């Protein structure tokens, strides 16, 4: 028997970012005094549609939760994402960046949306990463008394480089969703005007995948594909970059954008739909850098940067600071989980 635990976190972990966020939350709860176990879903085989993908992950999460509950008891269960909660073996809190009601339109969410609505309504505690995520939830779930916003903590990864010698960087895991084609079009347009000095670095995706998709030609001047990097190596490059550019077709949270702001990058972005946490911050810092004219925004950032941008960004990120999140977890989340 695994014994008892105050909190069992059911971690979907379908991306590196989600796995890291779940581990951060577990550590924060432990520092607050909780005994925490983590049930990690095993990655299922790849399938062709979003409906089947969600079903496979939901089944994996249920199996992981049931196995861990079978080995011991838990005072509270916390499901990381609405997908992890869809087939839950026991009701619990649900932490989520976005709902299927928001990011699974039409046929992509035919079975997920109605079941998600029931799970959100039955959950004793909802933990959206942003207030915007809660606005996309079904009306039956929007009860303020059982909702607590707990963001993912973000902070500078190290001292800023004295010289920012990289023109721009982007993170493009899932290139279509991240709008890499639009980022590349903006960068190439700038270079065609003779203004794109330096390089655009592309992280999170392999060169072979981009070449096969016809997005990047091998050896194309001004572009460097980094592939998947260790987080510390990636953040070290971000600290050297002047601009983080992205053009997501939808953004469910945008941790990479928040990290870039924390590390002193100017954020150039489209105004993507979804609970995009960095978008209102970017608009407040410099509205010239947000919009559909990516090439123009990029040119503005490189040629006419707003004074004090990095310092103002850090102040705007105060609600996401580790100290604020630690306090929320210890003073609000843990008592409500165990109450």
Range of lowest pLDDT (69-73, 109-113, 139-143, 302-306): 139-143
Asked if residue 67 has pLDDT above 90, the reply is yes
- The predicted structure's pLDDT at residue 299: 96
- The predicted structure's pLDDT at residue 143: 83
Give the chain's mean pLDDT.
95
Q: Is the pTM of this model over 0.75?
A: yes
pLDDT category, 214, cuts 50, 70, 90?
very high
- The predicted structure's pLDDT at residue 270: 97
- Residue 95: count other Cβ atoms within 10 Å of its Cβ: 26
- The predicted structure's pLDDT at residue 14: 85
3-153+321-338 and 166-319 in the same fold:
yes
How far is Cα 243 from Cα 38, in angstroms, rounded to an integer?
37
The side-by-side arrangement of strands in the sheet containing 36-40 is 36-40, 3-11, 72-80, 93-96, 126-128
Asked if residue 1 has pLDDT above 60, the reply is no
Instruction: Give percent helix, percent strand, percent coil of the chain, each to the nearest 5.
Output: 45, 15, 35
How far is Cα 269 from Cα 246, in angstroms, rounded to an integer?
5
**SS3 of residue 308 by DSSP:** coil
| Mean pLDDT confidence for 310-337 | 97
- The predicted structure's pLDDT at residue 334: 97
What's the pLDDT tens digit per position in 256-276?
Answer: 999 999 999 999 999 999 999
| Mean pLDDT confidence for 224-244 | 97
What's the pLDDT tens digit per position in 248-258?
Answer: 999 999 999 99
CATH code for the structural domain at 166-319: 3.40.50.2000
How far is Cα 339 from Cα 336, in angstroms, rounded to an integer?
5
What are the sequence ranges of the domains in the chain? 3-153+321-338, 166-319
Q: Residue with structure tokens 């966020």? A: 21
Classify domain 3-153+321-338 by CATH architecture.
Answer: 3-Layer(aba) Sandwich (3.40)
- Name the DSSP letter for residue 198: S
What's the pLDDT tens digit per position in 74-122?
Answer: 999 999 999 999 999 999 999 999 999 999 999 999 999 999 999 999 9
- The predicted structure's pLDDT at residue 82: 97
| Mean pLDDT confidence for 119-128 | 96
How far is Cα 190 from Cα 212, in angstroms, rounded to an integer?
24
Q: What crossing angle do the helices spanning 294-303 and 180-192 adopt, rounded to 10°?
A: 60
Angstrom distances, CA of residue 31 to CA of 54, 222, 264, 329:
32, 45, 29, 10
pLDDT category, 142, cuts 50, 70, 90?
confident
pLDDT category, 196, cuts 50, 70, 90?
low
What's the pLDDT tens digit per position in 143-177?
Answer: 888 999 999 999 999 998 889 999 999 999 999 99
| Mean pLDDT confidence for 18-30 | 95
Would you say 199 and 224 are in contact if contact means Cβ atoms under 8 Å apart?
Answer: yes
Sign (positive or negative) of CA dihedral 49, 292, 257, 278: negative
How far is Cα 77 from Cα 7, in angstroms, rounded to an integer?
6
| Mean pLDDT confidence for 69-75 | 93
Radius of gyration, alpha carbons of the chain = 21
């Amino acid at each position: 028997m695994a014994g008892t635990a105050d909190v069992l976190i059911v971690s979907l972990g379908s991306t590196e970012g989600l796995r890291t966020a779940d581990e951060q939350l577990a550590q924060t709860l432990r520092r607050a005094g909780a005994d925490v176990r983590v049930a990690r879903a095993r990655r299922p085989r790849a399938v062709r549609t979003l409906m089947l993908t969600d079903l496979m992950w939901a089944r994996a999460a249920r199996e992981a939760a049931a196995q861990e509950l079978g080995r011991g008891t838990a005072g509270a269960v916390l499901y990381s994402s609405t997908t992890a909660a869809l087939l839950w073996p026991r009701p619990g809190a649900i932490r989520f960046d976005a709902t299927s009601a928001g990011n699974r339109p039409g046929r992509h969410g035919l079975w997920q949306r109605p079941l998600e609505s029931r799970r959100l309504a039955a959950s004793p505690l909802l933990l959206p990463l942003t207030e915007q995520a809660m606005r996309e939830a079904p009306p039956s779930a929007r009860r303020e008394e059982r909702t607590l916003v707990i963001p993912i903590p973000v902070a500078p990864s190290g001292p800023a480089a004295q010289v920012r010698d990289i023109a721009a960087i982007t993170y493009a895991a899932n290139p279509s969703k991240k709008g890499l084609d639009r980022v590349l079009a903006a960068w190439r347009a700038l270079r065609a005007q003779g203004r794109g000095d330096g390089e655009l670095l592309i992280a999170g995706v392999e060169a072979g995948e981009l070449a096969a998709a016809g997005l990047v030609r091998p050896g194309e001047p001004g572009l460097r594909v980094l592939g998947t990097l260790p987080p510390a190596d990636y953040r070290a490059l971000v600290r050297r970059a002047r601009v983080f550019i992205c053009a997501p077709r939808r953004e469910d949270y945008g941790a990479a954008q928040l990290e870039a702001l924390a590390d002193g990058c100017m954020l150039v972005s489209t105004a993507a739909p979804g609970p995009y946490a960095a978008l209102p911050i970017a608009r407040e810092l410099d509205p010239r850098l947000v919009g559909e004219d990516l090439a123009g925004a990029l040119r503005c950032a490189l040629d006419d940067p707003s004074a004090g941008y990095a310092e103002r960004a850090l102040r705007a990120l105060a609600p996401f600071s580790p100290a604020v999140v630690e306090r929320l977890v210890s003073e609000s989340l843990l008592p409500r989980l165990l109450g």
